[in-house]
Amino acid sequence: MTDYRPETRAVHLPQPIIEGSRPIAVPIYQTSGFVFDDPEVMANAMGSPDGPFVYGRYTNPTVRSLEQAISGLEGGSGAIATGSGMGAVNIVLLGLLKPGDHFIAQQALYGGTAAMINELAGRFGVTVSYVPEDDPAALRAAVRPETRLVYLETIANPMCQVADLPGMFAVARELGLVSVVDNTFATPMLCRPIEHGADIVIHSTTKYLSGHTDVVGGMAVFADDALYKKVWHFAISLGASADPFAAWLTLRGLQTLPLRMERHCANARLLATRLADHPAVAAVHWPGLPTHPSYELAGKLLPDFGGVFAFDLAGGRAAGEKFMSSVRLALLAPSLGGVETLILQPATTSHRALSAAELAKHGISEGTVRVAVGIEHAEDLWADFEQALA
């Protein structure tokens, strides 16, 4: 390198050669592509996720570390990181469905997923039927010759219905359908859907897995290698890839996932229990309470019930708005799964596109408040809620 002129030496930086030790933390490999010594190796690198790193849209060492970490936690054989949770939803749905296909989804779905399914139905010739998340007989009855896939969410937003994964996926397996589940709300700390028959597990890593409200990302985890490779080939064409810095932030968050989930669940339990006894509250929706319709199923499927719950204020929409404007510690914001407690009114935000009748079908009222509990001290949160209710 010393023979070259300064213009050339400035461009071709020395790469660190690491021998005899290695970094403790996973480094950020902030590079768009990789250099090869051998043209034959380079020529063969493009066709498979197993080969050497080649180009950032395919994967990257930091991204691969995250893919392996989450795949390991879920018990998968491979995973594909994406730039958002919706990216993961879409590599799976678009990667596996074609015009003329039919699939079956649960009624209560994340808003972005519901909107994307409407796009698929409206413009891509894919049809969908909706069934309750805990009704294997209804699933069986909805299956047609062209049905390909079943799509569930472990814990739904915002009313926290729990899906009967073993029951629903047993029917799917018997009928040769691909079983897909969005496990964002439960995380692998509360549920590993592959153990209950899932073929694909989707995450918005934006939420609990990263956990610090500072990154948007997604992941699709595959139980078997054939499905992983099939979707991988589509995913690199779609280009919804994860960025190495986003992957690095998510890796950093993931290290404390078990500790954070314990606190999220404990805080949700305390707030949900006390709210259920408060005179201004008409109902609390958290699967750890015996009044929740999923209580029995949740008790069998999950060791704890997550950090999201909803509650209905007896005073309706006005009481909801008053509560929202009276809290001092909880933040009015979308999203969930971060260290801060966030609240919103589904009727005016996440579910604003639904009519009053559709809201009622989902059990959401105008006075429903959704709480994504953070990891603050529970008594500080309770004091905030109590003063806002007063």
Q: Is 307 in the site for ligand PLP (CB under 6 A)?
A: no
List the one residue from 216, 265, 271, 284 that touches ligand PLP (CB under 6 A).
216
**Which residues are known catalytic residues?**
57, 110, 182, 207
Distance separating alpha carbons of residues 255 and 257, to the nearest angstrom: 6
The DSSP bridge pattern shows strands 127-131 and 178-182 to be unpaired
The C-alpha angle with vertex 234 and arms to 145 and 151, in degrees rounded to 5, equals 45
Contacts 24+ apart (CB under 8 A), 34-38: none
Q: Which is nearer to ligand PLP, 45 or 104 (CB)?
A: 104
Question: Can you spell out the DSSP letters for 305-354?
Answer: --SEEEEEETTHHHHHHHHHHH-SSSEE-S--SSSS-EEE-GGGTTTTTS
Q: Which is nearer to ligand PLP, 220 or 319 (CB)?
A: 220
List the one residue from 62, 204, 210, 241 that touches ligand PLP (CB under 6 A).
204
Size of the site for ligand PLP (CB under 6 A): 16
Whole-Å CA distances, 88 to 24, 70, 123: 29, 13, 20
Distance separating alpha carbons of residues 1 and 291, to the nearest angstrom: 72
Q: Is 85 in the site for ligand PLP (CB under 6 A)?
A: yes
Q: Is 86 in the site for ligand PLP (CB under 6 A)?
A: yes
Q: What is the 3-state secondary structure (H, E, C) of 341-359?
A: CEEECHHHCCCCCCCHHHH
Distance separating alpha carbons of residues 179 and 81, to the nearest angstrom: 19
Q: Which residue has the tokens 């692998």?
A: 188
Candidate segments 36-44, 81-89, 97-105, 140-148, binder of ligand PLP by CB under 6 A: 81-89
Shortest distance in whole angstroms from residue 41 CB to ligand PLP? 35
Residues 134-153, mask of contacts with ligand PLP (x by CB under 6 A): -------------------x
Closest CA to 359 of 107, 182, 150: 107
Q: Is 218 in the site for ligand PLP (CB under 6 A)?
A: yes
Q: Is 345 in the site for ligand PLP (CB under 6 A)?
A: no
Q: Residue 223, exposed/middle/buried by CB under 10 A (0-12, 13-18, 19+)?
A: buried
Shortest distance in whole angstroms from residue 17 CB to ligand PLP? 37
Q: Is 350 in the site for ligand PLP (CB under 6 A)?
A: no
Residues 172-191, mask of contacts with ligand PLP (x by CB under 6 A): ----------x-xx------
Residue 141 dihedral angles phi and psi, to the nearest 5°:
-70, -25
Shortest distance in whole angstroms from residue 91 CB to ligand PLP? 12
Q: Which is nearer to ligand PLP, 173 or 252 (CB)?
A: 252
How would you list the strands of the sheet with 308-313, edge to edge?
Answer: 281-285, 308-313, 368-372, 342-344, 331-332
Q: Is 112 in the site for ligand PLP (CB under 6 A)?
A: yes
**In which region does residue 213 sit, left (phi positive, over 0), alpha (psi from -120 to 50) or beta (all else)?**
left
Q: Is 288 in the site for ligand PLP (CB under 6 A)?
A: no
Q: Which residue is nearest to ligand PLP (CB)?
A: 85
Candidate segments 5-13, 140-148, 200-208, 235-243, binder of ligand PLP by CB under 6 A: 200-208
Shortest distance in whole angstroms from residue 183 CB to ligand PLP? 8
Residues making contact with ligand PLP (CB under 6 A): 84-86, 110, 112-113, 153, 157, 182, 184-185, 204, 206-207, 216, 218
